[in-house]
Structure 1
């Protein structure tokens, strides 16, 4: 606050100015959960619209959208681990990640496993040709990037390739997104008991309970309405999504704290980077693929 004449110090006008400045400061600061909420909502609505439109148009459009997001996510990971002096071989890692997504869509789990293995081999050879100093460290960083981003994302693509894949993907995204929404809302209003204060101080057990309630409700609704499956499969799906989404969020928090960074990127106002939005989705994708593949077979979904 600028200096005021001595005569005004402690006066009613002085107190009013102080209150006005405090209100302005609070209005400009992030919310209790550390987000710019209006920007976060706007970006979230835009991303949701892009996903729905691509799924409605044709599966290949959604595959292209995911591929772009994963390329950006891998680039953010490559840049993030540089803070730990890990120099990921960019070309084989990025190309291999894109190939993994296409193989998952066209050939399923076997093609995905083969493409992931071959990509790691290529990364090892590529890095060895550049010299052996710190090669193991850099290969480990590339393997982490490949396993964390395109490998986990490929489970969503394998859902897309199944009968009524668009509805399966919507179900997967819905339970994961509502995990975040339920946890955020209840955590802001009622959160008192931190879940992992050394990792994510704002995440609370009350928020986890809100996440569990919204996940199971949305899961039951989606599986029974969209996939014509028993409601209990949706409850199981939602409960699993609540756990994996929470773990995914905490895992990325550990990575960021270890590297000494706040966000993985800055391309999404109110959210941070692409990876700051993919964290819960990535770990939830394999669980949803297992549940929807083996408990909601093609016949039930049809």
Structure 2
């Protein structure tokens, strides 16, 4: 008598739907809440404490990016002048303004070029190009966060900047997860959809309108709509840009420091390019 055959179990009915990207959702939420608490506590107690948080995040971000470049592409970026330049850029932006921060960026590039001369000339151009790119991409863009903080109402400007960027990510995820059908950039980030982008832009515009009207002195709701829409676009472009970098490097995350999130750079990807846009629009709308 042939053995009784087992009835196959439909795995799709038994398995819960995995979070997009395979993330550990509880860990991601816990880390996100913890980071939010640190940011709010430092931001509204003493502004300089938040500046230290920015410097620490930039330093770790530079280390993550240069480490991945060395591991995956054998690009040897001089780390010491980059870290020193990063601290100087953010601090100078806060205490002296954008022009001095730009001067520090130029000096950092020069020091990277000279520092690299201490090793054999093979791949010199490749290494210093990566170093100058890193100096611009991480600390210089982060300097605009320090410029936002330096205003009299700096903590509220930072809050606006963070909220519209987070709303862009949250709205894009929620709408894309539920209604996403049309891929936005399938060769770069297959999970992103046009519907998600619309959701991110919409939620960011709403948040921007509310915060500009009720939190920023002299701000108006229509200014918040413009700011929120621009922030959502730059946040998405920043996310796509880092996805391009990670695909070129053949990695999923820049690091493992933050459970459920990846590395620091995986959290800064949408914030970095959004900071100068928010700073510029706030300066145009209500002054710097």
Q: TM-score normalised to the size of structure 1? A: 0.90
Which residue of the partner structure matches residue 9 of structure 1?
A: 5
Which residue of the partner structure matches residue 263 of structure 1?
A: 253
Work out the CA distance in 2 between the residues paired with 1:244 and 1:257. 20
The CA deviation at 1:34 is 3.7
Which residue of the partner structure matches residue 117 of structure 2?
A: 128
Cα 1:194–1:34 change in 2 (3 A) is farther
Work out the CA distance in 1 between the residues paired with 2:147 and 2:20. 37
Which residue of the partner structure matches residue 203 of structure 2?
A: 214
Determine if contact 1:171/1:222 at 8 Å carries over to the other structure: yes
Q: Higher mean Cα deviation, 54-63 or 125-134? A: 125-134
| Aligned counterparts, 1:75-224, within 5 A | 75-82=63-70, 83-224=72-213
The CA deviation at 1:33 is 4.6
Equivalent residue in structure 2 for 1:45, among 33, 37, 45: 33
Work out the CA distance in 1 between the residues paired with 2:20 and 2:84. 40
Write the deviation string for residues 20-72 of structure 1: whole angstroms up to 9, x where unpaired.
x7666x34x74135422222221111111111000111111000111111111
Determine if contact 1:73/1:149 at 8 Å carries over to the other structure: yes
Which residue of the partner structure matches residue 233 of structure 2?
A: 243
The CA deviation at 1:8 is 5.0
Structure 1: gaps (5+ residues): 1-5
Equivalent residue in structure 1 for 2:268, among 278, 283, 286: 278
Work out the CA distance in 2 between the residues paired with 1:206 and 1:271. 23
Cα 1:91–1:8 change in 2 (3 A) is farther
Work out the CA distance in 2 between the residues paired with 1:41 and 1:188. 17
Write the deviation string for residues 106-148 of structure 1: whole angstroms up to 9, x where unpaired.
1111110111111111111111122322111110111111111
How many residues are paired up? 285
Q: TM-score normalised to the size of structure 2? A: 0.95
Determine if contact 1:33/1:188 at 8 Å carries over to the other structure: no
The structure having more radius of gyration, on CA atoms, is 1
Which residue of the partner structure matches residue 3 of structure 1?
A: none
Describe the SS at the equivalent of 2:120: coil
Write the deviation string for residues 147-190 of structure 1: whole angstroms up to 9, x where unpaired.
11000000011010011100000000100011000000001001
Cα 1:268–1:23 change in 2 (3 A) is farther
The CA deviation at 1:79 is 1.0
Determine if contact 1:245/1:280 at 8 Å carries over to the other structure: yes
Equivalent residue in structure 1 for 2:282, among 292, 296, 299: 292
Describe the SS at the equivalent of 1:201: strand
Which residue of the partner structure matches residue 242 of structure 2?
A: 252
Work out the CA distance in 2 between the residues paired with 1:8 and 1:278. 56
Determine if contact 1:268/1:274 at 8 Å carries over to the other structure: yes
Determine if contact 1:215/1:241 at 8 Å carries over to the other structure: yes
| Residue 225 (str. 1) matches residue 221 (str. 2) | no
The CA deviation at 1:279 is 0.2
Work out the CA distance in 2 between the residues paired with 1:23 and 1:89. 52
Describe the SS at the equivalent of 2:97: helix
Equivalent residue in structure 1 for 2:45, among 45, 53, 57: 57
